[in-house]
Structure 1
Amino acid sequence: MRAELHPFRLALRAPLVTGGVSVRHRAGFLVALSADGITGWGEASPLPGWSRTTLLETEAALRRTLDAVKAGGEAALDGLLDDLAGTPHARAGIAGAWADLQARRAGRSLAEHLVADPTGAPARSVPVSSVAVNALMAAPAPSEVEAAARDAVNSGFSTVKLKVGAADLVVDIDRVRAARAGLGPAAELRLDANGTWDPATALAVLDRVQDCDIAYCEEPVTGIEAIAAVGGRSPVPVAADESIRDEAGAVQALELGVGTLIVKPQALGGPDVALAISARAREAGASAVVTSFLDSAVGVAHGLHVAAAVDAAASRRRAHGLATASLLATDVAEVPVVVAGAMAVPAGGGLGLAPR
């Protein structure tokens, strides 16, 4: 088996301030695993200020593991993936490339591969062919938020997420009200505070915008127990995002009553881990929303196939957070475009795309 790393650095069209961190570019590695003339692709791209591991630590884990793959071949992969639990971005890159390679070999999409029964029995669900996605808004001024919300609805989005927490409390409340005014009564409005509030602030803001019909607020505070505590007192439902580091964290959030889990395949360790966490949410009667981690086209494509697999088994399908490619000035491949608030799942083998 051939194993390669391809570094990338992609500029954003404009800096994105999220959770108090200004993101200007995305850097990481594409992982290529090849056998029998077929190549599978994965992505490993930790985000500074967010990820538990740095880019250098991720690179070291990738190179060490890929050297072992070259020596041990495919038979060594399962054990090597277990060893990468502490470096989830490296695991995501290798697990993603391996899953893509297997799907391409079988002549089926990655989503079909993810829902396939490992025994060869017929799959219990069929992945959807397109996935609803939310628009993302982060404009600082209420007037800009209202205009962006109106544009999103006119473009066919039925769900919009507004970043909050970077502005003064009063300004944020005005921004939320402006978003609802621009969206009208029918569209779903989500908030994302990225853990920037303390419990008192979170409860104060959410209490004052409860009449805006908020679907949920992601990470109003930091930490699973704190999020659940806010959720127990808030008139607005809460969701856990970056506080979920692994499957154990997801289980804890569900046991504490958090009703929505935000699932980032690239941050959690790959498509298999993301799908397992989503299944846990479904079994608990909660929702799983699959989102990008400001990924390149390869990471977004992995998320898209995971979302298609999640939607195949979901009793209630939610819009996913995968419409992020437009934030990048350049990319490693063409990503499916958003049409009327949805992204088509690439047909054919594996991811349905390959880097340029």
Structure 2
Amino acid sequence: MRLRRFSLPLVTPLRTARAELRRREGVAIALGGTDWTPPDAAGAEPPPAATDDAASPATVGVGEATPLPGWTESFPACVAALRDARDARDARHARGDRGARDARDALAALDPSETPAARHGLALAIADARSRAVGEPLAATLADEVGLPAPSASVPVNATIGDGSPEETARAAARAVDEGYRCLKLKVGARGVDADVDRLRAVRRRIGSDVTLRADANGGWDRSTARRALRGLEALDVAVVEQPLPAADLAGLAALCGTAAVDVAVDESLVEHGLRAVLDAGAADVAVLKPMALGGPDLAAEAARRARAAGVEPIVTTTIDAAIARTAAVHVAATIPDVGACGLATGQLLADDLATDPCPIDDGRIAVPAGPGLAGNAFDDVV
């Protein structure tokens, strides 16, 4: 198992609830042939070790762990967890425990509730290796594992429009529509409700009625403000309001559901409470799933299945990840039948990346890479 730390600058600083982000720090993970034994049923064999460098066996799977403050463990905790999992596996192997040869043993040591980003990185590398071993895209393997139909060949994505005056917001929305986006998510909550309604009214006038609008309040309203906002946004045919109340207020979110023709989506609440608590409380019409914060593409695909079974629509977004994890999120989204527009158009926020993005956006959609695993061997030189 090989680990490589990286740090990627953002195009512009991004303010979160916890800090101002200027860079995204993470760990790229590679599994070699000696880290991975494919399932016996597949009848596949791991590739031989590289002959030019015996210390670096041929890559069979890649992953990415990019923690985000407020959503996952810290970067130092992520690095420590991955190193501990690797070193414990190597120590058992050195003592002659042949069962410790496989990276899946190391995965068991990573708790998704404590170190979700670390688990995401290793779980993704394992999933990539398994999909490559059977010669199919990661989305197909994930769908089969959680009992979903064959994945889609492409997924729709939304553009995100930041805060600004009505005129600035309308111009940005028009540019996104010209680029082919059919769903726009607008940031709200930093201004008063009336000012935000004016902004969305200006957007609706500029782009017409055929484009789906969503709003993201990032937990910025109280209950009475949220009710008033939903009434104003309903008149503008806004489809979804994301996290209208603080993450802790599941009862308030449940009370909002069904009060207007605007669906209530939860994002931060999923991290704070978990999907089961959100579903039990009836606190969402839409669940925003971040694979990095949930602990891996496998857990995200399973969460999507559970949400849909409970009558809650799942959509997938990133945590401003690098290319490896963004590609994995595309595969997760593809496992969801008739998935709505997902928040996967985030690569443009990075000034640099780990590799060329194999998932470009074309006319508001991303084609799912058709090669085996994540994207064939597109990321093998990263680690």
User: Secondary structure of 2:78's partner?
Assistant: helix
Q: Give the equivalent residue in structure 2 for 1:283.
A: 309
- TM superposition shift of 1:185: 0.3
Does structure 1 conserve the Cα–Cα contact (< 8 Å) formed by 2:89 and 2:106? Answer: yes
Q: Give the equivalent residue in structure 2 for 1:187.
A: 211
> Within 2, Cα distance between the matches of 1:146 and 1:225?
34
Structure 2 unaligned regions, length at least 5 = 34-46, 48-57, 94-99
Match of 1:213 among 219, 237, 242: 237
Q: Give the equivalent residue in structure 2 for 1:331.
A: 353
Match of 1:341 among 357, 364, 373: 364
Q: Give the equivalent residue in structure 2 for 1:318.
A: 340
Does structure 2 conserve the Cα–Cα contact (< 8 Å) formed by 1:38 and 1:105? Answer: no
Q: Give the equivalent residue in structure 1 for 2:20.
A: 22
Q: Give the equivalent residue in structure 2 for 1:250.
A: 275
Q: After the TM superposition, which residues 88-99 of structure 1 pair with which residues of structure 2 at under 5 Å, given as runs?
A: 88-99=116-127
Q: How many residues align?
A: 343
1:339 partner amino acid:
D
Q: Is residue 46 of structure 1 aligned with residue 82 of structure 2?
A: no
Closer, same or farther: CA 18–205 of 1 in aligned 2, 3 Å: farther
Closer, same or farther: CA 292–98 of 1 in aligned 2, 3 Å: same
User: Secondary structure of 1:212's partner?
Assistant: coil
Q: Is residue 226 of structure 1 aligned with residue 257 of structure 2?
A: no
- TM superposition shift of 1:150: 1.1
Closer, same or farther: CA 61–77 of 1 in aligned 2, 3 Å: closer
Q: Is residue 265 of structure 1 aligned with residue 291 of structure 2?
A: yes
Match of 2:191 among 137, 148, 167: 167
> Within 1, Cα distance between the matches of 2:180 and 2:64?
30
1:183 partner amino acid:
I
> Within 2, Cα distance between the matches of 1:18 and 1:60?
24
> Within 2, Cα distance between the matches of 1:144 and 1:124?
42
* Stretch deviating more after TM superposition (140-149 or 27-36): 27-36
Q: Give the equivalent residue in structure 2 for 1:80.
A: 109
1:63 partner amino acid:
R
- TM superposition shift of 1:272: 0.8
After superposition, give the CA deviation of every residue in 1:194-227 in whole Å (9 maximum; x if it has no partner): 1122222222222222211111111111223332
1:40 partner amino acid:
G
1:46 partner amino acid:
P
Q: Is residue 197 of structure 1 aligned with residue 221 of structure 2?
A: yes
> Within 1, Cα distance between the matches of 2:174 and 2:129?
41
Does structure 1 conserve the Cα–Cα contact (< 8 Å) formed by 2:316 and 2:333? Answer: yes
2:245 partner amino acid:
V
Does structure 2 conserve the Cα–Cα contact (< 8 Å) formed by 1:292 and 1:324? Answer: yes
- TM superposition shift of 1:84: 4.6
Q: Give the equivalent residue in structure 1 for 2:31.
A: 33
- TM superposition shift of 1:234: 4.8
Q: How much identity, in percent, do the aligned residues show? A: 39
Does structure 1 conserve the Cα–Cα contact (< 8 Å) formed by 2:269 and 2:278? Answer: no
Q: Give the equivalent residue in structure 2 for 1:6.
A: 4
> Within 1, Cα distance between the matches of 2:229 and 2:144?
44
> Within 1, Cα distance between the matches of 2:206 and 2:21?
27
> Within 2, Cα distance between the matches of 1:97 and 1:286?
29
User: Secondary structure of 1:251's partner?
Assistant: helix
> Within 1, Cα distance between the matches of 2:21 and 2:198?
25
- TM superposition shift of 1:19: 5.0
* Stretch deviating more after TM superposition (226-235 or 97-106): 226-235
Q: Give the equivalent residue in structure 2 for 1:59.
A: 79
Q: Give the equivalent residue in structure 1 for 2:142.
A: 114
- TM superposition shift of 1:18: 4.8
Closer, same or farther: CA 57–78 of 1 in aligned 2, 3 Å: closer
User: Secondary structure of 1:105's partner?
Assistant: helix
- TM superposition shift of 1:67: 1.5
Match of 2:374 among 309, 330, 351: 351
Match of 2:167 among 143, 153, 167: 143
User: Secondary structure of 2:270's partner?
Assistant: coil
Q: Give the equivalent residue in structure 2 for 1:156.
A: 180
- TM superposition shift of 1:233: 4.0
Structure 1 vs Structure 2 CA RMSD: 2.1
Does structure 1 conserve the Cα–Cα contact (< 8 Å) formed by 2:72 and 2:293? Answer: no
- TM superposition shift of 1:38: 3.0
Does structure 2 conserve the Cα–Cα contact (< 8 Å) formed by 1:38 and 1:104? Answer: no
1:245 partner amino acid:
V
Q: Is residue 134 of structure 1 aligned with residue 155 of structure 2?
A: no
TM-score (norm: length of structure 2): 0.84
> Within 1, Cα distance between the matches of 2:19 and 2:200?
21
Does structure 2 conserve the Cα–Cα contact (< 8 Å) formed by 1:41 and 1:100? Answer: yes
